[in-house]
Amino acid sequence: MISSLLRSLWLVFRHLFRRNVTVQYPDEQPYLPPRYRGRIVLTRDPDGDERCVACNLCAVACPPDCISLQKTEDEDGRWRPEFFRINFSRCIMCGLCEDACPTYAIQLTPDFEMSEYDRQNMVYEKEDLLINGPGKYHEYSFYRVAGKAIAGKGKGQGLNEKKPVDLHDLNL
Amino acid sequence: MPATTGEAVHLVLNIFGILLAAVVAAALLTWVERRLLGFWQDRPGPNRVGPFGLLQVVADMLKLFFKEDFLPRFADIPVFVLAPVIVMAAMLLGFAVIPFAPHIGVIDLNIGLLFFFAMSAMAVYSVVLGAYASNNKYALLGGLRAAAQTVSYEVFMGLSLMGVVMLAGSFDLRTIVLAQRDGWFILPQFLGFAIFLIAGIAESHRLPFDLPEAEHELTAGFHTEYSGMKFGMFFVGEYLSILLISSLITTLFLGGWLGPWLPPLVWFLLKMSLLVALFILLRGALPRPRYDQLMSFGWKWMLPLALLNLLVTGGLLLWRG
Amino acid sequence: MAKVTITIDDREYEVDEGQNLLHACLGLKKNLPYFCWHPAMGSVGACRQCAVIEYMARDDTRGRLIISCMTPVRDGGVYSLEDERAQSFRAGIIEKMMVNHPHDCPVCEEGGECHLQDMTLMSAHTMRRYSGRKRTFNNQNLGPFINHEMNRCITCYRCVRYYQDYAGGRDLQALGRNQQVYFGRAEDGRLENGFSGNLVEVCPTGVFTDKTFSRRFVRKWDLQTAPSVCEHCGVGCNTAPGARDDGKGDPRKLRRVVNLYHRDINGYFLCDRGRFGYEYANSPERILQPLQADTQPLIQSTAAAGEKIHRPLPPQDAVAQLADIIEEARLGKRRLLGIGSTRTSLENNYALKTLVGPANFYAGVSAGTLQLLHLVNAIQQDPQIHSPSTPEIEQADAVLILGEDISNTAPRIALAVRQAAAEQQRQRARALDIPLWQDASVRQLDSPPTPIFIAAVEGTDLDGIARETVYATPDEIAELALEVVNQLPGAVTESQTEASDSLATQIARALASARKPLIVCGCGLQSPALLRAAAALAKALAANPVNSEGTASCALYLACADANSLGLTQLCSEQQHLEQLLSETAQENSLPSTLLAMEVDLFWQLPDEQAARILHGNQLIQLDSLYNHTSRFAQLLLPSAATPESEGTFVNSSGLAQRYYTVYEPSGYIQESWRWLANATAACAARAGGVEKIPALADMAQWQHVTQVSAAMAAGIPQLSPLSELGPDWNTLVAGAPVARQSHRFSGRTALQAEVAVAEQPPPRDPDAPMAFSMEGIQFAGYSPLQANIWAPGWNSDQAIHKFQNQPGGERAPAASGQSLRRATKVFEIQVTDTGVPKTPVNADLLTTLPLYRLFGSGELSRRARSIATVVGQAFVHLHPDDARALALCAGEQVCLPGSDTTFEVKITAVAPQRCIGISAGYSSPQAVVAMSPQDIRPFVENPQGNSS
């Protein structure tokens, strides 16, 4: 027993001469990979439209329930969030919202420097979250593959869709 | 009584010098401990306030001073306030008998060692009273553990030193230091040294024997309800006791100020610092035993060993005449 | 019922004989996927999704694949749901169905409560292998209620089976063939059937979705619900309204209403008025805070005499003002007269009655209506009369509808009567040993339809299933009923000999030979004679030994107009009506009078002129949810809670008391009417120096919980004593915990309110029921009848209800809501010869006025719902072509009627009695006269100055 205790002491003592593993943040900025789970953004599809269709899946997946939104439908037939709010003072950066998102709209970024003196400033609205780009997924556009018709894409014009059935056609 | 004015000045300088040095050293020790632990854990430790983070102590002190001095509604207020004062006072008084160098030291009592025992035994009152006055179950459990632990380890702490006393033939610490001119007592009394070291750790509630404040089980143990400077006093008290035990080991086993070339005080401080570093290394490396393990270790191993040491030392001395 | 023993996956079960295997499996709470089967519509075996393996015997290891919904349970039958082949077959079926299903779930209103999603997961089809092109369809605009998205269709045929076979609609068909079957109308347009909203729940996927819900859509799991009772007619259907706060104080919290299963009332279906009428609670005309009449002299405005302009008032000031008035009344310096309501709870009415005293309490209905309601109450007390439940109506084998247009006044009952049309077929099926769930087989049976006779004042939706329809005035209908009594076998009268083939004889023969005859009547036509005649007929039938399987009572359904018509009847005598109030206030009296009108629009109940006279010279304090015509005259307006915002008790037309629960906290300063009154009483007590100083109102001043009001009523009024057993007391936990209104997946808890304040507030407490406005508490509907969120693991859609029934289509577990009133049994004395049928007006020049009801338009609250308002249309009058010719009026012409500001569109229809004028009810104040001279009908002349009249 005593030898094991002494061995522990010796092993720990030897670390006096090891290099530090910690980084002197913020003097030194560490490298964060692109898939690091930091500040959440809402992205746009390649055509520049909001990707979020207000399906509410991120909100229900969120363990601390810090996402809230309201669906609205625009003239063009697209679903959009009327408001989209993330309370970052509750967010645990788990990334489940990104996993749940069926349209790649919600994505986590390698930015984590979000400290505020006033907690109220940690509440981000859609305007604060929306970025002008597609984020990590450059080509995906939900409405191109969805069956719902929107302005500029009628029934049967989506990816892998036949022309709408004409009921007056005898060759059904 | 000081015979001359010169002596009186010397005494006053000694008293206040040692008092100040002890307190400052204890405060500084908080930073030293964190830095050392940092190094042993491959990280820098507090390094941002002042050069090498040295002013961290000042920052912490400021913080403690400005924190709300919270008195729980349910506490026994007079006792609650008194408890941290006791530990600090007892520990500081303990320094009175330490002979740091030939002319440095407050007083040479012929019962110096017994005085130290008395003071270190006083410290347990502080813990028990503080825990009791907090009126908190975690604190009470911590206090109970502290009482039992201290009482148990005090027994062989005293016995372990009897060998040294027999070798030196005196309870006077200065005499004991001078008795080591021919060889430090750590060699003939290695067993006594080891037992005293262990007992000293237990007395100062340091890891691995910090069960009274085991934070994984008891929140913060006996000082759960303490905050602000009252907590600060407990905190400094603990570091004072490290210093005190280290000084005592230096005095009793490592020849005190004795050593070649360097001035005596430097030798003393050097030896003491190494012991302090050992204390910190123990914290960094060893796990905490269970409470029953602690007690059975004390009574079933340490006490018989201490008695054996006493027996053998006494026997040898008698045999040698 | 006989039991059989079957073995499913090596476990033995005892199940009822005669059911199909799918039904039995669901009854055993097993998870077996299905699509085309519906508990109310039986099996057709179209989708093949419920396939299982059946073994010949225990030692058979091969077995064969069967379709469980088409297979009757066999004693000793050995089945396997979990066999590898059955599972892979079901996975294959769902994969084929999903081939063309679009990638739409995120933008589909059904997502999250979709039977197709559930079944896909249950069948473990998780990856789409098909990479070819999907077929698509164009959608139709189906009106303001229903969304159409045909791409999502899986061709289960449930919609047309429900719409055509069950609800009798004709304008939704299956068009096309092959892979390309299209479920839709011939052309765009609103679905005509009044039960089209059920398509939302019947469709297993998102082809038909709720358009009103879609506007401010949230997922099912984000809605908070509680059991409620529909407030739009007297049937008392159970509903589960869903609400969600937007965190910013938007008062439009109510998002939708869905059916809440109650076997004896609404079963699986609601009418469209009940489903879409909820939007009145979100109306911009909601009163959100107390309003006070502005005392500033009016600048010239469009307001008529006596009308007031209102401005907001702090609630404590409003309570103080009300307390002032109560104080004055208590000291004898003021008369305080209360007007109760048929559309609010018993508790509210009782509080008002307690406050003003029984002598000063008046029912907010006309004398005629109150007389009818008391008549209904008296008839239902007769031991020979029996108010049928919906399943009983569906199983009637002969039906006579006397005047009441139930499709528009009690729609859910009309849907039940429609099911009775197939009762003869079902009886034949029983005789041939065909199980009733074999839907297609039963429908193909060659059997005469159930005899259904309709006597009406206009064409009704049920005419299509009627053997004979007669259009007549109420008095003529009453005479017809009496004639039927005379024609019943055993009745010896002089008229029996003549005209043996007359309608009355036919009806008498059909009713007399039926085992479960049903008479339907109601208050709609405002004719006491008709009600008496219906009672006389029912009593005569009850005495007929063939009938009623020896129970010596006859089923008589009497429809009342409002959700709590019969409840209010219990609280006031036959004299306490508005005309009595009018004569009371008209008397010379030195004391000033204050009218306390609670949730009643006098201009809805009375002709304009009478209503105006009641209000004239009296101070009016109104408590109501919507700003209405009466509100314009109010000195003080207090905002009352709508039904989904409050807890209370309704008594439906059958005398069943049901409690509804608060679904969501109302916005602004809205609170229940009784709370306003209790608050004012408490303020009054505080001023008097303690409750003991006002002994008459001492209890009321201390009311904190609605259950205290119920308990006081149950203790004080014998027939209302069941109120104490209706539901748990406000602090009595049902299963050791409160019931959670929010689902366990409720989202946004820490973000919803964050825009206003990031620190979370605790949820409000419910003072009236052991229920939480949060997700903490009982989540599983099996543990508490108060749980309205129907969800079970793996079953996110409304189909999960079978987990909470003792068997599919059975009683709701753990308990069904409702308690019958404990009314004393009293024989309703009636002489067949003297039923008070007045002879037809001698003056042949006069036109009898008939109220005509419409599903959308005749409901006081529902007609102000946003979507319903778009289809209500204009007020109209119906004329027989002969009368129209005599009056020289053409269809589409605009006319004015005496005493009314409204202009009416002339409609000419041959399916109407002659010498009558049918007037749309609810589009204007009721007419003052029972008959009007043709000269009173004046063509509408456009007034260049603006307003007519």
Residues C121-146 pLDDT 10s: 999 998 899 989 999 999 999 999 99
pLDDT in tens, C149-161: 999 999 999 999 9
Closest residue in B to A18 (Cα) is: B42
Predicted local confidence at residue C551, as pLDDT: 62
Token pair of C533, please?
A: 């005649």
Counting as low any pLDDT under 50, the low residues of chain A are: none
Mean pLDDT of B211-215: 71
A and C make contact (3+ CB pairs below 8 Å): yes
Chain A within 8 Å of C182 (Cβ-Cβ)? yes
* Angle, CA C896 vertex, CA C893 and CA C897 arms, to 5°: 130
pLDDT digits (tens, 9 = 90+) for C727-752: 889 888 888 899 999 999 999 999 99
Q: Measured between CB atoms, does A2 come within 8 Å of chain B? A: no
Based on the fold, state whether residues C680 and C532 are members of the same structural domain.
no
**C420 and C450, same domain (yes or no):** yes
**What backbone phi and psi angles, to 5 degrees, belong to C873?**
80, -170
How many CB atoms neighbour CB B66 within 10 A? Answer: 10
Taking CA atoms, what residue in A is nearest to C103?
A146
Q: Do chains B and A touch (3 or more CB pairs under 8 A)?
A: yes
Query: C97, C130, C149: which is the final residue of a domain?
Result: C97
pLDDT computed for residue B19 by the predictor: 85
CA gap C788, C784 in Å, rounded: 9
Read off the pLDDT of residues C530-579 as tens digits, 9 standing for 90 and up.
999 999 999 999 887 665 455 678 999 999 999 999 999 999 999 999 99
- Over the stretch B279-296, which tens digit does the pLDDT of each residue have? 888 888 888 888 888 888
Cα three-residue angle C310-C315-C319, rounded to 5 degrees? 100
Token pair listed for B206: 């340091």
pTM of the model: 0.84
Q: What band does B1 get if pLDDT is binned at 50, 70 and 90? A: low
The verdict on residue C162 lying in a domain is: no
Q: Say how far apart CA C903 and CA C236 lie, in whole Å.
A: 33
CB distance from C696 to chain A under 8 Å? Answer: no
CA atoms within 13 A on the CB side of B110: 1
Q: Which of C136, C214, C751 is nearest residue A155 as measured by Cβ atoms?
A: C136
Q: Tell me, yes or no, whether C365 and C469 share the same domain.
A: no
- What secondary structure letter does DSSP report for B181? T
Q: How confident is the model at residue C371 (pLDDT cuts 50, 70, 90)?
A: very high
What pLDDT sits at residue C377? Answer: 95
Q: What are the phi and psi torsion angles at C5 (to 5°)?
A: -105, 125
According to the model, what pLDDT value does residue B240 have?
87
Dist. CA C914–CA C847, nearest whole Å: 9
Q: Are residues C329 and C464 in the same domain?
A: no
Alpha carbon of B174: minimum distance to chain A alpha carbons (Å): 32
Tell me the H-state helices in C357-405. 367-380, 390-394
- Residue C912 or C839, more confident: C912
Contacts of A162 in chain C (CB under 8 A): 133-136
d(CA C784, CA C900): 50
C703 has pLDDT over 50: yes
Which residues in chain B have Cβ-Cβ distances shorter than 8 Å to A13?
A: 40, 281, 285
Residues 6+ apart with CB under 8 A from C737: C777, C778
- Boundary of a domain, candidates C528, C552, C576: C552
- Token pair 């260049």 in the structure block, residue: C944
DSSP state of B298: I
Cα–Cα dist C850/C930, whole Å:
8
Using a CB-CB cut-off of 8 Å, the residues of chain A touching C218 are 56, 70-71
CA dihedral C284, C289, C290, C294 (to 10 degrees): -60
Which are the contacts of B272, defined by CB distance < 8 A and separation ≥ 6?
B243, B246, B247, B250
**C450 is a domain residue:** yes
Distance from CA of residue C877 to its chain's centroid?
26
Same domain, C440 and C480: yes
CA distance B305 to chain A (A): 15
Q: Give the pLDDT of residue B193.
A: 87
What are the start-end ranges of the E strands in chain B? none
Does the pLDDT at position C305 exceed 80?
no
Note the pLDDT of residue C680. 95
CA–CA distance from C707 to each of B234, C347, C365, C386, C732 (Å)?
A: 58, 9, 26, 30, 11
A92 touches chain C (CB under 8 A): no
* 3-state SS assignment for residue B34: helix
Sign of CA dihedral C176, C182, C183, C187: negative
CA distance A77 to C161: 30
Domain hosting residue C339, numbered range: 306-371+567-640+672-720
Please answer whether residues C890 and C906 qualify as being in contact, where contact means their C-beta atoms are separated by less than 8 angstroms: yes
A85–C103 CB contact, under 8 Å:
no
* Rounded Cα–Cα distance for residues C180 and C195 (Å): 26
Rounded distance, CA C829 to CA C339, Å? 31
CB B61 within 8 A of CB B207: no
Which A residues 46-105 touch B at CB under 8 Å? none
C-beta of residue C539 within 8 angstroms of C-beta of residue C828 = yes
Q: Same domain, yes or no, for C580 and C703?
A: yes
Q: Considering just the CA atoms, what is the radius of gyration of chain A in Å?
A: 24
Interface test with B, best of A12, A27, A28 (most B CBs within 10 A): A12
Is residue C401 domain-shared with residue C447, that is, in the same domain? yes
Shared domain check, C541 and C608: no
CB contact under 8 A, A165 and C216: no
Query: Rounded CA gap, C924 and C854, in Å?
Result: 13
Residue C239's DSSP bridge partners are: C228, C259
Report how far Cα C354 is from the mean position of its chain's Cα atoms: 29
Highest mean pLDDT among B82-96, B153-167, C425-439: C425-439
Q: Say what the pLDDT of residue C748 is.
A: 93
Structure tokens belonging to residue B78: 């007079």
B187 Cβ contact list (under 8 Å, min separation 6): none
Quote the tokens at residue C673.
């009417």
Contacts of residue C888, defined as CB under 8 A and 6 or more positions apart, other chains included, come to none
Residue C41 lies in a domain: yes
Q: Which of C182, C91, C95 lies closest to C135, judged by CA?
A: C182
Question: What percentage of chain B carries pLDDT values higher than 70?
Answer: 98
B282 to A9: CB separation less than 8 angstroms, yes or no: yes
Q: Does C272 touch chain A (CB under 8 A)?
A: no
> Do residues C452 and C520 lie in contact, with contact meaning Cβ atoms separated by under 8 Å?
no
pLDDT recorded at residue C549: 53
Please give the tally of structural domains in chain C.
Answer: 4
Report the CATH number that the domain containing residue C421 is assigned in CATH. Answer: 3.40.228
Whole-number Cα distances in Å, C426 to C22, C395, C555: 21, 9, 20
pLDDT score, position C528: 93
Q: Would you tell me the crossing angle of helices C503-513 and C474-487 to the nearest 10 degrees?
A: 60
What pLDDT, on a 0 to 100 scale, did the predictor assign at position C597?
96
In a domain, C535, yes or no: yes
Contact (CB<8Å) A120/C175: no
pLDDT band at C948 (very low <50, low <70, confident <90, very high): very low
Please indicate, yes or no, whether residues C64 and C92 belong to a single structural domain of this protein. yes
Residue entry with tokens 């500084």: B28
Burial group, residue B259, by CB count within 10 angstroms (0-12, 13-18, 19+): middle
**Segment C827-857, tens digit of pLDDT:** 988 866 555 555 555 566 788 999 999 999 9
For residues C261 and C239, give the distance between their C-alpha atoms in angstroms, rounded to a whole number.
Answer: 8
Q: What CATH code is carried by the domain that includes residue C871?
A: 2.40.40.20
HSE-CB of C104 using CA atoms within 13 angstroms: 26
pLDDT at B223 over 80: no
State the DSSP string of A21-81: -S--TTTSPPP--TT---SEEE-B-TTS-B------HHHHH-TT--EEEEEEE-TTS-EEE
For residue C243, tell me if it sits in a domain. Answer: no
If you count them, how many residues does chain B have?
A: 321
Can you give the pLDDT at residue C629? 93
Other CB atoms within 10 Å distance of the CB of residue B8 = 12
Q: Is C222 inside a domain boundary?
A: no
Report pLDDT for C494. Answer: 46
In the beta sheet, which residues pair with residue C598? C623
Between strands A79-87 and A67-73, the pairing is antiparallel
Mutation pick from B40, B52, B190, B288 vs chain A, by most beta carbons of A within 10 Å, is B40
Q: Which residue would you say has higher pLDDT here, A78 or B44?
A: A78
A9 and A66 Cβ atoms separated by less than 8 Å = no
Q: B40 and A22 in contact by Cβ < 8 A?
A: no
Cis peptide before C793 (omega within 30 of 0): no
Q: What are residue C399's DSSP bridge partners?
A: C452, C518
Average pLDDT for C399-416: 95
Cβ contact A15–B42 (<8 Å):
yes
- Binning pLDDT at 50, 70 and 90, where does residue C303 land? low
Single out the residue in C97, C131, C152 at which a domain terminates: C97
- Could you tell me the pLDDT band of residue C296, with boundaries at 50, 70 and 90? low
A7 has a chain B CB within 8 A of its CB: no
Per residue in C854-880, pLDDT tens?
A: 999 999 999 999 999 999 999 999 999
Q: Are C880 and C914 in contact (CB under 8 A)?
A: yes
From the CB of residue C206, how many other CB atoms can be counted at a distance below 10 Å? 25
Residues C621 and C498 in one domain: no
Token pair recorded at residue B216: 């994984």
Which of B206, B112, B225 lies closest to B150 in space, CA to CA? B206
Nearest CA of chain B to the CA of A114: how many Å?
22
Model pLDDT for residues C158-191, shown as the tens digit of each residue = 999 999 999 999 999 999 887 889 999 999 999 9
Instruction: Report long-range pairs for C501-507 (Cβ below 8 Å, ≥24 apart).
Output: C503/C453, C503/C468, C503/C470, C504/C480, C506/C451, C506/C453, C506/C467, C506/C468, C507/C400, C507/C451, C507/C453, C507/C468, C507/C480
Q: Containing H/E element for C735? A: none
pLDDT in tens, B247-288: 888 888 888 787 788 888 888 888 888 989 988 888 888 888
CB contact (8 A) between residue C137 and residue A102: no
For residue B94, give Cα distances in angstroms to B11, B242, C87, C569: 16, 12, 82, 93
| Nearest-by-CA chain C residue for A154 | C138
C621 touches C636 (CB < 8 A): yes
pLDDT tens string C483-497? 999 888 765 444 444
pLDDT of residue B258: 77
User: Is residue B300 pLDDT above 50, yes or no?
Assistant: yes
| Residue numbers in A near C155 (CB within 8 A) | none
Strands across the sheet containing C361-363: C310-312, C291-293, C636-639, C619-624, C593-598, C335-340, C361-363
Give me the DSSP letters along C581-613. Answer: HHHHHHS--SS-EEEEEES--HHHHS-HHHHHH
pLDDT tops 80 at residue C668: yes
The continuous run of DSSP H or E covering C23 comes out as helix C21-27
Indicate which CATH number applies to the domain containing C90: 3.10.20.740
Within 8 A of A12 by CB-CB distance, chain B residues are: 40, 281, 284-285
CB B113 within 8 A of CB B105: no
Residues C392 and C459 in one domain: yes
B43/A20 CB distance under 8 A = yes
The reply to whether C435 falls in a domain is yes
For residue C520, is it within any domain?
yes
Residues C346 and C450 in one domain: no
C452-456 vs C398-402, strand pairing mode: parallel
Residue B286 distance to chain A (closest CA, Å)? 7
